[in-house]
Structure 1
Amino acid sequence: MNVTKEYSSNLSDEQWRLIEKLLPTPKKFGRKPIDRRAVINAILYWNRTGCQWRYLPFDFPNWSTVYGVFRRWRMDGTWQRIHDRLRESVRKSEGKKPTPTVAIIDSQSVKTAEGGEQRSYDAGKKITGRKRHIAVDTLGLLLVVVVHAADFQDYEGAHFVLHRIKDKYGRLKVVFADSAYGKCGIPDWVQTACRLLLQTVLRPVHAKGFVVLPKRWIVERTFAWMNRHRRLSKDYERLTETSETVIYIAMIDLMSRRLAKRKMAF
């Protein structure tokens, strides 16, 4: 079924042209092909509004079809591949090379719905839920996301993020982080195991209240971008892999809009 109503979350024609060429090749045999643009519009609507799959408007394809595509592309890595290609395109449009030399790492504790794996209590933030651990480049674009239990300290969660990042970005040299990542020998481990320099950004000694810290504000802005999507207002997912995919889709939405506006401007 084609989407007959225009929602603000729908892909523009220019966004669709950017994403369509990154999708898996449709199968030539089997069931009648689905309208992929309508399916992606439904997934973006779900991500932006935070509704349940069963509550998708009826002018989208059937919710079970939409969920099936979402799940299949999560399992085969399609969402992450689309995300990574769009990030490279955004970097090139900003006059940068496709892969970064600098990253910034941080975490965000969020409440979870009842049930699901890796759900625990963060005594520091007084939150029962999970942590979203991300690394971004100097533009604030997502490089890696790992969702894990909230009771892991930041210096413990850094192992998960840096293990994923060390082999994926060969040009990466420096990772900026706050002082919490300077504990328990993490900087030495990063240097020997990952061959990266972990540079902690310290808060001024006599500073009171909110202070903008060099590099750190970039990753905080990325969390703010993510939180514009109501599906990320808390962690509703049963699987951490699904939680990570929701974040990738939010960034796909952001980057495709940015690229589409830039192309329309020229």
Structure 2
Amino acid sequence: MTQDRHGGGGLKTINRGGRPAALTPQHIVLLSEIVSRMPHATLGELAAELDHLGAVQVCTATIRRTLRAQGIVRTMPKQHALGASVQPEAHAAVAKRYGYTAAHRREAGQYSTDLTDAEWRLVSDLFERPEGSRGAPARYERRRLVDACCYVLRTGCAWRLLPSSFAPWQAVYKAFVRWVAVDAFEQMQDRLRQQWRDRMGRSAEPSAAVIDAQSNRASPQGGECGYDAGKKVKGRKRHIVVDTLGLLLAVTVTAASVQDRDGAAEVVAQACRKAPTIERLYTDGAYGGQCARAIEQTHGIRVEVVRRPGNRSTGTLHDPQRSLWQEPAPGFVVLPKRWVVERTHAWNERWRRMVMHHDRKTSTSAAWVWLAEARILLSRIALGS
């Protein structure tokens, strides 16, 4: 069977006998739609998506022959000369904002990191002892202990350098370790995430997620550590999964020497246990291939690899007969569904304790991420209430 184009751009099937074609005209139309939606996908990813949507299994050689018959070719981005400058596109003028906003003028305690009354009411039951419980009364107010933890998170200071206005640093550190052991900060972030998704008009649990990893330096404190040869960083790596709003779903911390694809299994499993409604996972090229197939087989979710338009390893599928399929202009391009996880990394690094790993245990490093994300949501929800 051969495909031929005619005036209306339609497909004509000519049956010359022999073995029937692996792809019917309906499958070819579906393949063209997949290519227009995933122009940077590999042949294996196109075959997997066609199997998922069209219930037909074909090899990559059949995909290649079919695309060639339709006139769809793969183009590689041009390599700019060394030192050549790329002129950015003109952006609309945006009025600059100076001074403090209502979020900065929040009525807190002695420090700007202290929780307000509205914020404390949202999460107090996670830290206060239930009424009628046995044992000696608390020596230090739980709210002030949480404020001290937020102060360390924001300023990045050592525990011993806590201001004297807080409880003694030994008491604060002991409370922090106890809350990390019972996942108090994770529970706080989970509760606030559901409240914020409800306020945004979303369902409580997401149906799509994004995964990414980030390498950060580690202090000489000790603990698990490694060297990331790609980023030239000696320290640890944070593997996180977020929803499409950029809210944290799962986080694990490993040595920086652990590859992204090797650390994906644990963090994806954690996210699927917490949100069984996840149906699609967006990743970058580091999670493609066998890693993506393993995630799909283990958890039954679709993995979509989002690649840069200028990726010189896969290129871009291009149909010369469609004028709308033009190579994007050189320069910075926001990747769909991928930018939200990069923004979450940027949110986390605003807290100075997150810039470098100062703790020996990786569980403590992960707890700081939960506290940072929960603190952001606390400010959002309390400010709008």
Give the shorter-chain TM-score range. over 0.9
**Which amino acid in 1 is paired with 2:355?**
S
**Residue identity in the other structure for 2:282:** F
Amino acid at match of 1:58: S
Question: Do structure 1's residue 199 and structure 2's residue 304 form an aligned pair?
Answer: yes
Pick one of 10, 18, 25 that aligns with 2:129. Answer: 25
Larger Rg: 2
Give the match's secondary structure for 2:239: strand
Describe the superposition over 1:85-123 as per-residue Cα deviations: whole angstroms up to 9, x where unpaired: 111111111111111101000011000001432200000
- Aligned residue in 2 for 1:249: 371
Q: Deviations over 1:21-42 (max 9, x none)?
A: 3335344322444211111111
One-letter code aligned to 1:262: G
Q: Percent identity of the aligned residues?
A: 40
- The residue aligned with 1:34 is 140
Matches of 1:245 and 1:186 in 2, distance apart? 26
Contact 1:23 1:82 in 2 (8 A): no
Please state which structure has a larger fraction of its residues in helix: 1
- RMSD value over aligned CA atoms? 1.6
Measured after TM superposition, the shift of residue 5 of structure 1 is 6.0
Structure 1 residues 58 and 179 mapped into 2: Cα distance closer, same or farther (>3 Å)? same
Show the counterpart of 2:355. 233
- Return the TM-score normalized by structure 2: 0.65
Counterpart in 2 of 1:224? 346
SS at match of 1:21: helix
Q: Which of residues 184, 188, 191 is equivalent to 2:293?
A: 188
TM-score by length of 1: 0.93
Listed as ranges, the gaps of 5+ residues in structure 1 are none
Aligned to 1:76: 182
Q: CA deviation at 1:167?
A: 2.2
Say whether the 8 Å CA contact 2:249–2:274 is kept in structure 1.
Answer: no
Partner letter of residue 137 of structure 1?
D
Query: What is the CA-CA distance between 1:19 and the residue it aligns to?
Result: 1.2
Distance 1:152 1:209 in 2: 31
Aligned to 1:61: 167
Corresponding position of 1:144? 250
Instruction: Determine the structure 2 residue equivalent to 1:107.
Output: 213
Does 217-226 or 31-40 show the bigger shift? Answer: 31-40
Counterparts of 2:163 and 2:141, CA distance in 1:
16
What SS is found at the alignment partner of 1:157?
Answer: helix
State the Cα deviation string for residues 180-203 of structure 1 (Å, max 9, x = none).
Answer: 1103x1121111111111111011
Are residue 16 (structure 1) and residue 123 (structure 2) matched? Answer: no
Q: Which runs of 5+ in 2 are unaligned?
A: 1-107, 311-326
